[in-house]
Amino acid sequence: MIIHFIKLVQKKLSRFIPATIEESVADLPPKILITGGLGFIFSHVTEYFVAKGWRVVVIDNLSEGSCPEIIDGSFMHYPLHMANPKVVNIILKENPDYVIHASSVTDVDYSIREPYRTLRKNILSTLHVFEACRNLSNLKKLVYVSTDEVYGECEERVSEDKVMLPRNPYSCAKAAGSLVRIAYENTYPTLTGKTAETRFCNVFGPRQDPAKIMSAIKKSIDEGYSIPLHQEGKGYREYLYVKNIPPAVDLILEKGLGVYNVTLNDGFTTKELIEKAREVTGEEIKTHPSHRPGMDLKYQMDGSRVRALGWEPLYTFEEGLKEYLVGGRE
């Protein structure tokens, strides 16, 4: 009698319910899960995919570099440490179409003071992401976020196939993540042809931690703060404005496979960078001598692979520098 009643109700309601659950899921926008999606760079990426209408899930434990001010209910946020094994079940439960693994200890000086913690946290976090992703039925792409620092000292512009020679605990942890990506993609058919990796040069722009060089320059201009100048300002880095990153990541999610150096080759020594900032703002910038043990003097990458994929930057270095230090785009 009860079963008969349930069947009758099901029949009556059936015209209001999609034919299959798959059909209703297919109508939904893609779901993207971003670890570290509240950080300096990936807070911009989180906002980009929210604006694109995607369903966005962020796992971020609100530690160093996080920007909790972007939390506004437009995306799902799990305030969890990625080294906590619970994140594996959360990723499985969310069952995203795309995953970006960007959470990381990113402070090189901290990594030199706390190598054990840095390596343990970053490598375990990466393992959790890959463990979950190899069991995701819907996964279309997993992007692991890495850095130019994995190459170590670069006498010339290096391409993606250069052997990694990380020379500090931070870049060592990032390089370990690159190896995890290669190993998982090769071992588990569920990940074959589904992973990619970004190696950004130095990114700068709004929301960056004040310890990083470009935001230290801004702080010096705004507040008269004195910048610790490592190795007499001889360190040479390539710089990229943060607003160029979300479309590059979007493109790599859609079409990318393997590793992409992301740079426009706007390279300067720290001294030259400070001079550029002086020219743009007309302000004095205070510095004092400092020393970072084991600091690489030069990173420079060949960015042609991501350009060949179709990446067109939205901002030149000069446009980004002006917008960041002086204000809105003209």
Ligand X SMILES: NC(=O)c1ccc[n+]([C@@H]2O[C@H](COP(=O)([O-])OP(=O)(O)OC[C@H]3O[C@@H](n4cnc5c(N)ncnc54)[C@H](O)[C@@H]3O)[C@@H](O)[C@H]2O)c1
Interacting residues toward ligand X by CB under 6 A: 36, 38-42, 59-66, 81-83, 102-106, 121, 125, 145, 147, 174, 200, 202-203, 209
CA angle, 202 as apex, 196 and 207 as ends, to 5°?
A: 100
Residue 98, H or E segment: strand 98-101
Least distance between ligand X and beta carbon 298 (Å): 15
Least distance between ligand X and beta carbon 76 (Å): 14
Q: Which is nearer to ligand X, 159 or 190 (CB)?
A: 159
Q: In angstroms, rounded to a whole number, what is the distance separating the alpha carbons of residues 293 and 169?
A: 11
Q: Which is nearer to ligand X, 190 or 292 (CB)?
A: 292
Q: Which is nearer to ligand X, 229 or 245 (CB)?
A: 245
Q: Which is nearer to ligand X, 83 or 277 (CB)?
A: 83
Least distance between ligand X and beta carbon 143 (Å): 11
What is the bridge-based pairing of β-strands 202-204 and 98-101? unpaired
Indicate the residue whose CB is closest to ligand X: 39
Nearest to 54 by CA among 140, 130, 181: 140
Q: Burial of 234 by CB count in 10 Å (0-12 exposed, 13-18 middle, 19+ buried)?
A: middle
Q: Are 301 and 148 a contacting pair, CB within 8 Å?
A: yes
Q: Which is nearer to ligand X, 187 or 206 (CB)?
A: 206
Q: How far is CA 139 from the centre of its chain?
A: 19
Least distance between ligand X and beta carbon 185 (Å): 18
Least distance between ligand X and beta carbon 14 (Å): 43
Q: In angstroms, rounded to a whole number, what is the distance separating the alpha carbons of residues 315 and 127?
A: 34
Location of structure tokens 């798959």: 22
Q: Which is nearer to ligand X, 83 or 91 (CB)?
A: 83
Q: Which is nearer to ligand X, 43 or 220 (CB)?
A: 43
Least distance between ligand X and beta carbon 288 (Å): 23
Q: How far is CA 175 from the centre of its chain?
A: 15
Q: In angstroms, rounded to a whole number, what is the distance separating the alpha carbons of residues 323 and 307?
A: 24
Least distance between ligand X and beta carbon 182 (Å): 17
Q: In angstroms, rounded to a whole number, what is the distance separating the alpha carbons of residues 256 and 305?
A: 10
CB atoms within 10 A of CB 33: 29
